[in-house]
Amino acid sequence: MNVLLLGSGGREHALAWKLAASPLLSKLYAAPGNPGIAEEAEIVDLKVDDSAAVETFCKANKIDLVVVGPEAPLVAGLVDRLSAAGIKAFGPTARAARLEGSKSFTKAVAVANNVPTSASSTFTNLPEAKEFIYKSDVPIVVKADGLHAGKGVIVAMTKSEANDALEQVFAMGGNNDPVVIEEFLEGEEASFFCFIDGETVLPLASAQDHKRVFDGDKGPNTGGMGAYSSAPVFTPEIERRTLEEIVQPTVRALARDGTPYRGVLYVGLMITKDGPKLIEYNVRFGDPECQVLMPRLKDDLLTLMLATCDGTLGKMSVRWRDEVAITVVLATKGYPGDYKAGSEIRGLLRAGEVEGVKIFHAGTKREGDKLVAAGGRVLNVTATGKTLQEARTRAYRAVDLIDWPEGFCRRDIGWRGL
């Protein structure tokens, strides 16, 4: 089979690495890709938001499956367009992708189907939202309705912070988009991933991300500074409840409404004292969570993705290596604020030779024979081991062999699991 993978982050490098190992694969193309992905796939010059160009490329190159990594093209309807052209694509349609593209849509689905989630209200004007904050308790959470590259969510500790957050978030949507205000949930966060073929849910595995930039979960939020899988807080009992109370009712509701969900569903959860509650859905793999799922997956990813597209997940099962995986994100100093691109990275070959280690590229670029940083999150140093401790020791051993003075990482990835 010929496969086209869209995206350019560490998530897509992990997907490329796993797809490249598939016995079904003839040729893997990737766009826009990165230097790590280029080791697994032929890079093609395509923009992921140019759906016409993607369609033309697929027809010219006999692409049997398009795998869409990031959310934006899904929310914009790339899968709808490809399907209409008879091209198989992994990921939800635009209407099903509203589970990530609109917080108010997800809240409405959750409420209508008794899915446990935080209490929330949706506002379309600032004075009413401020009035609501005035009457509420803090902490409280303010969310822009649409996609804002992870910057649309503010956890406000005081009312004055909440008011500032409202002004900011209303402005993001040009004062036209709804804003969701929700109750602050207490507990431990975990994420859970499932393949869904419209009807059947195939549970994959759990992971835990580290969103704050500094050790001890301090500092501003980021796209994720590291992850490990599986998450001990996500016990078999929590998994059973998550499937029964959250995932299944959502999948049934979308199917009933004529917008069946197909693809991978990222279930963002707070494990509270009353059980799992839904924080958010994402309609794609997590980044960096994908980087710790792929090394643990024993079965063929391409076979599972095809079954997801074809509606045959009911015949599938999935096996995982009895190992823990961890990934440490190396970022450019300054991230998630301003940072300088272009610094040289050395020592990757040596670091990649540490037992159990695989380094995924996120924001890197080749300049002549040099590898340079080209983004905020730059490398994902990933390791597996029999225990979390073993995996973590291996990952940090590799991190310490990388020569990149302009980079930094958290030194405490996996602390909750230890």
Using CB under 6 A as the binding criterion, the count of chain residues that bind ligand AMP stands at 12
Strands 2-7 and 201-209: unpaired
Rounded to the nearest 10 degrees, how much is the dihedral formed by the CA atoms of 221, 225, 226, 231? -10
Residues 120-159 as x/- pattern, contact with ligand AMP by CB under 6 A? ---------------------x-----------x-x----
Least distance to ligand AMP, CB of residue 218, Å: 14
Which of ligand AMP, ligand GLY, none sits in contact with 408, Cβ below 5 to 8 A by type? none
CB of 132 to ligand GLY, least distance (A): 27
Which parts of 339-378 interact with ligand AMP (CB under 6 A)? Answer: none
Residue 7 or 286 having the CB closest to ligand GLY: 286
Binding partner of residue 224 among ligand GLY, ligand AMP, none, CB under 5 to 8 Å per kind?
ligand GLY
Per-residue CA distances from 413 to 17, 50, 223, 229, 410 (Å): 23, 37, 14, 11, 6
Task: Return the one option of ligand AMP, ligand GLY, none that residue 384 interacts with (CB less than 5 to 8 A, by type).
Answer: none
Q: Which does 232 bind (CB under 5 to 8 A by kind): ligand AMP, ligand GLY, none?
A: none
Of 27, 211, 252, 333, which lies in the binding site for ligand AMP, with binding defined by CB under 6 A? 211
- Contact between 328 and 396 (Cβ < 8 Å): yes
Residues in the chain: 418
Give which of ligand GLY, ligand AMP, none residue 118 binds (C-beta under 5 to 8 Å, depending on kind): ligand AMP
CA atoms within 13 A on the CB side of 15: 34
DSSP per-residue string spanning 232-269: TTS-HHHHHHIIIIIIHHHHHHHHHTT---EEEEEEEE
Q: CB of 36 within 8 A of CB of 360?
A: yes
CA 186/CA 313 separation, integer angstroms: 34
Q: How would you write 329-380 as a 3-class SS string?
A: EEEECCCCCCCCCCCEEECHHHHHCCCCEEEEECCEEEECCEEEECCCEEEE
Would you give the binding string for ligand AMP spanning residues 13-52, x where CB under 6 A is met? ----------------------------------------
Which residues are registered as beta bridge partners of 221?
A: 212
Query: In the stretch 154-193, what mask flags binding to ligand AMP with x, by CB under 6 A?
Result: -x--------------------------x-xx---x----
Q: How far is the CB of 301 from ligand GLY (least distance, A)?
A: 18
Torsions phi, psi of 406, nearest 5? Answer: -85, 0
217 binds ligand AMP (CB under 6 A): no
Nearest to 70 by CA among 284, 225, 282, 308: 284
CB of 83 to ligand GLY, least distance (A): 25
Token pair in block for residue 170: 């209303």
Shortest gap between Cβ of 382 and ligand AMP (angstroms)? 21
DSSP character string of 4-47: EEEE-SHHHHHHHHHHHT-TT-SEEEEEE--TTGGGTSEE----
Give the nearer residue to ligand AMP in terms of CB position, either 44 or 155: 155
Residue 287's binding partner among ligand AMP, ligand GLY, none (Cβ under 5 to 8 angstroms by kind) is ligand GLY
**In the complex, least distance from residue 287 CB atom to ligand GLY, rounded to whole angstroms:** 5
Q: At its nearest, how many Å lie between ligand AMP and the CB of residue 115?
A: 14
C-alpha to C-alpha distance for 116 and 187, rounded to whole angstroms: 14
Which residues contribute to the site for ligand GLY (CB under 6 A)?
Answer: 209, 223-224, 282, 286-287, 289
At residue 206, the 3 state secondary structure works out as strand
153 binds, among ligand AMP, ligand GLY, none (CB under 5 to 8 A by kind): ligand AMP
Q: Which of 268, 275, 347, 352 binds ligand AMP (CB under 6 A)?
A: 268
How far is Cα 328 from Cα 402, in angstroms, rounded to an integer?
Answer: 12
Residue 141 binding: pick among ligand AMP, ligand GLY, none (C-beta 5-8 Å cut-off by kind): ligand AMP
d(CA 325, CA 392): 8
> Would you say 79 or 270 has its CB closer to ligand AMP?
270
Closest distance to ligand AMP from the beta carbon of 35 (Å) = 29
- Interface positions with ligand AMP (CB under 6 A): 118, 141, 153, 155, 182, 184-185, 189, 211, 268, 279-280
